[in-house]
C-alpha cells in the first residue's frame, strides 16, 4: 500500500472558539497539525496580549494529555489598539500576528476596522517591528456584489496598504480568486497567502447542488470554477508564498441549518486528507510537503517541524458528523464523501 511521509504539517489559519466548543474541537486539530495560527474573533474579541495569553492557556488546558500541539496567537486589530501592543506582540513567543477584519466582513467582525487609514500608525509600527498582518480581504459595503468583494478589497484597500508599507509582512488569508493569486505572485516575499480545503474542492455551484447547502457556505464565499483552478495551480506550484490555512470554523449544525445560517466550514478532522486528495488528483503529491509543512513556518521565520506524519493510500468515508457534548453536532466539510488518502495514527 502506498504511503506518503512528510514533515508534520501546520495550520496557519484556525478557529478554535472557547468553552465547550474548544473542548470538543481541539483534539481534531491537534491530531493533524503540530502548530496552528489561532484566530481571535471570539466574543469579546482577543484584542490584547493579556487576553491572548489567557486564551492560549485555555487552549493548552483543553489539549489531550499526550499532545504537543502549539497554538500561536493572533490579536484582533481595532482602531483602538494601543500602539504599545505591537511591541508586546513582537516580544512574546506565543503571539505572532495581528488579524485585520474589516468591520462587518464576517463572523464576529463588528469590532473590526471601519476606516483602514485609521490603523496606518499601527501598520507602521508592525512594519518596523516585523509583526505580520493577517487580512480578511473583503470590502464590506453591503451594496457590493458578494462575489466581487475580495477582488475589490485588493484594488481599493490592499494595493494602497502595500504601497504605503512595502516591508510589512502580510498574509492574505483564505484567498478565493484568480486576482488574489496574481496579486500575491506579483508581490515580493513579504506577502503570502493561505488557501483553504473548501476553496480547492468546491466552486460556487456547491452552494446549490440539489438545494441550498449550508455546510459549504463560508466567507469569502466560494467562487466560480476558473478561480478554483487558479487556487489549485497556486497550491501545487511549489511557490512558497502559498501555504496551508484551513479556516476550519466550527458552528453547530443547528446554526448552519438555519434560516440565517452561519458562515464557516468545519474541516479540522479531515484537513490534511482533503488537501492530499487535491494534490493527488493533480499528480502533485511531491508538492504537498512544501505547502503543508514548510512554507508557512518559513514565512513566519519559525523552525520547520522536526516530527513527521504519514498518509496512506486507502479509500475511506468522511464521518457524517462529530458530536459536541450536550450541544449538538458539527458537520464536517464533505461529510459522507469518500477520500483516497488517510492520515495514519498516531502521528508522532
Ligand atoms: O466562513 C468563515 N467563518 N469565514 C470567516 O472569515 C470567519 C469564520 C468564522 O469565524 O466562523
Ligand atoms: Zn477565518
Tell me which residues have their CB within 5 A of the ion that is ligand 2: 247
CATH superfamily to which 11-305 belongs:
Metal-dependent hydrolases (3.20.20.140)
Predicted pLDDT of residue 106 = 82
> Which residues have a Cβ under 8 Å from the Cβ of 297 and sit 6 or more positions away?
10, 35, 303, 304, 305
Any ligand 1 atom below 6 A from CB of 106? yes
Ligand at shortest distance from the CA of 251: 1
Which residues are known to be catalytic?
A: 247
- Give the closest residue to 35 by CA, choosing from 62, 8, 71, 6: 71
Any ligand 1 atom below 6 A from CB of 219? yes
Any ligand 1 atom below 6 A from CB of 21? no
User: What whole-number distance in Å separates Cα of residue 3 and Cα of residue 347?
Assistant: 13
Q: How far is the CA of 208 from the centre of ligand 1 (A)?
A: 19
Query: Given the CA of residue 263, which atom of ligand 1 is nearest to it?
Result: 1
Query: Given the CA of residue 101, which atom of ligand 1 is nearest to it?
Result: 6
- Give the closest residue to 187 by CA, choosing from 247, 239, 126, 123: 239
Any ligand 1 atom below 6 A from CB of 14? no
Query: In 74-109, which positions are buried (b, 16+ CB within 10 angstroms) versus exposed (e)?
Result: bbbbbeebeeebbebbbeeebbbbbbbbbeebbbbb
User: What whole-number distance in Å separates Cα of residue 231 and Cα of residue 173?
Assistant: 13
Q: How far is the CA of 3 from the centre of ligand 1 (A)?
A: 33
Contacts by residues 53-62 (CB-CB < 8 Å, ≥ 24 positions apart): 53/92, 53/94, 53/95, 55/18, 56/94, 58/18, 58/22, 59/16, 59/22, 59/26, 62/22, 62/23, 62/26
- Give the closest residue to 77 by CA, choosing from 55, 56, 49: 49
Ligand at shortest distance from the CA of 194: 2
User: What whole-number distance in Å separates Cα of residue 64 and Cα of residue 25?
Assistant: 11
pTM, whole model, 2 decimals? 0.98
User: What whole-number distance in Å separates Cα of residue 207 and Cα of residue 317?
Assistant: 21
Query: Given the CA of residue 262, which atom of ligand 1 is nearest to it?
Result: 11
User: What whole-number distance in Å separates Cα of residue 210 and Cα of residue 275?
Assistant: 25
Query: Given the CA of residue 265, which atom of ligand 1 is nearest to it?
Result: 1
Q: Whose CA is nearest to atom 10 of ligand 1?
A: 107
Ligand at shortest distance from the CA of 137: 1
Taking only the tens of pLDDT, the chain with its 348 residues reads 799 999 999 999 999 999 999 999 999 999 999 999 999 999 999 999 999 999 999 999 999 999 999 999 999 999 999 999 999 999 999 999 999 999 988 878 888 999 999 999 999 999 999 999 999 999 999 999 999 999 999 999 999 999 999 999 999 999 999 999 999 999 999 999 999 999 999 999 999 999 999 999 999 999 999 999 999 999 999 999 999 999 999 999 999 999 999 999 999 999 999 999 999 999 999 999 999 999 999 999 999 999 999 999 999 999 999 999 999 999 999 999 999 999 996 554
Dig out the grid coordinates for 242 from the structure: 502559498
Q: Whose CA is nearest to atom 4 of ligand 1?
A: 219
**What is the separation, in whole angstroms, between the first and last Cα of the chain?**
20
Residue 214: phi, psi to the nearest 5? -65, -25
Strand partners, 142: none
Any ligand 1 atom below 6 A from CB of 264? yes
**Per-domain boundaries in the chain:** 11-305
Show the 3-state SS of 298-328.
Answer: HHCCCCCCCCEEEEEEEEEECCCCEEECCCE
Any ligand 1 atom below 6 A from CB of 15? yes
Amino acid at each position: 500500500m502506498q504511503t506518503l511521509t512528510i514533515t508534520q504539517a501546520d495550520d496557519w489559519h484556525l478557529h478554535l472558539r472557547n468553552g465547550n466548543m474548544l473542548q470538543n474541537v481541539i483534539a481534531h486539530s491537534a491530531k493533524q497539525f503540530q502548530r496552528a495560527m489561532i484566530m481571535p474573533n471570539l466574543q469579546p474579541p482577543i484584542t490584547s496580549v493579556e487576553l491572548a495569553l489567557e486564551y492560549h492557556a485555555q487552549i493548552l488546558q483543553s489539549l489531550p494529555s499526550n499532545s504537543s500541539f502549539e497554538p500561536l496567537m493572533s490579536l484582533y486589530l481595532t482602531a483602538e489598539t494601543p500602539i504599545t501592543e505591537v511591541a508586546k506582540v513582537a516580544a512574546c513567543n506565543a503571539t505572532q500576528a495581528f488579524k485585520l477584519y474589516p468591520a462587518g466582513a464576517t463572523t464576529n467582525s463588528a469590532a473590526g476596522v471601519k476606516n483602514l487609514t485609521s490603523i496606518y500608525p499601527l501598520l507602521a509600527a508592525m512594519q518596523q517591528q516585523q509583526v505580520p498582518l493577517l487580512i480578511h480581504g473583503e470590502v464590506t459595503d453591503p451594496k457590493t456584489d458578494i462575489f466581487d468583494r475580495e477582488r475589490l478589497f485588493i484594488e481599493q484597500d490592499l494595493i494602497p496598504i502595500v504601497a504605503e508599507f512595502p516591508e510589512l509582512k502580510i498574509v492574505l488569508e483564505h484567498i478565493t480568486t484568480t486576482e488574489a493569486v496574481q496579486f500575491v505572485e506579483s508581490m515580493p516575499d513579504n506577502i503570502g497567502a493561505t488557501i483553504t480545503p473548501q476553496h480547492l474542492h468546491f466552486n460556487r455551484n456547491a452552494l446549490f447542488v440539489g438545494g441550498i447547502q449550508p455546510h459549504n457556505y463560508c466567507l469569502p464565499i466560494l467562487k466560480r470554477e476558473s478561480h478554483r483552478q487558479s487556487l489549485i495551480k497556486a497550491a501545487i506550484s511549489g511557490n512558497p508564498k502559498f501555504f496551508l490555512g484551513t479556516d476550519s470554523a466550527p458552528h453547530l449544525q443547528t446554526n448552519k441549518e438555519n434560516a440565517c445560517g452561519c458562515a464557516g466550514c468545519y474541516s479540522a478532522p479531515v484537513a490534511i486528507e482533503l488537501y492530499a486528495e487535491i494534490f493527488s488528483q493533480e499528480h502533485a503529491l511531491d508538492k504537498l510537503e512544501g505547502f503543508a509543512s514548510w512554507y508557512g513556518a518559513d514565512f513566519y521565520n519559525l523552525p520547520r517541524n522536526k516530527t513527521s506524519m504519514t498518509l496512506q493510500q486507502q479509500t475511506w468515508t468522511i464521518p457524517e458528523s462529530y458530536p459536541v457534548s450536550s450541544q449538538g453536532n458539527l458537520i464536517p466539510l464533505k461529510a459522507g464523501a469518500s477520500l483516497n488518502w488517510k492520515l495514519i495514527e498516531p502521528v508522532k
